[in-house]
Amino acid sequence: MKRVAPSQGAESAPSEPETDPENSAQTTARRRFIEQSATTLGQAWAKQWRQDLHREGRPAAGGWPGTLREARTQVEINLPSELLHRKMPAITGVERELAARTAYASARNEWRRHLEPETP
């Protein structure tokens, strides 16, 4: 069987852009919104931990007491309603995990900024 080489004189059609610029801008804005919301959520979460400890008469000392599992719960409770309120599509699993990790890191950083000395 004889193989035929592709025609060298044939011009290929101009390729279409792989992404729609408007859709790309929306995706970027959505990602930015989710990340900012998760950052704010993490800061509020750390603040709530401090307040709870203070009500118990304990200092907000030591390492960040929250867990990634709790961060996922925080995201699941708070972000879907924010997206719905803004008439955005539901959060995806990948976005949810990114938001949980962002919220956790934000909470841990906020916690560290406000560490108190431990009482002896």
Q: Please state the pTM of the whole predicted model.
A: 0.77
Backbone angles phi, psi at 35, to 5 degrees: -65, -40
What is the C-alpha separation between 63 and 8, in angstroms, rounded? 66
Q: What share of the chain has pLDDT > 70, as a percent? A: 81
Each residue of 43-99: pLDDT tens digit?
999 999 999 999 999 999 999 999 999 999 999 999 999 999 999 999 999 999 999
What is the pLDDT averaged over residues 6-35? 67
Give the model's confidence band at 18: pLDDT under 50 very low, under 70 low, under 90 confident, else very high: low
Checking if the pLDDT of 6 tops 80, the result is no
Q: What is the overall mean pLDDT for the chain?
A: 85
The predicted structure's pLDDT at residue 20: 64
Nearest Cα neighbor of 74 from 94, 103, 97 is 103
The predicted structure's pLDDT at residue 24: 84
How far is C-alpha 63 from the chain's CA centre?
A: 22
Checking if the pLDDT of 17 tops 60, the result is no
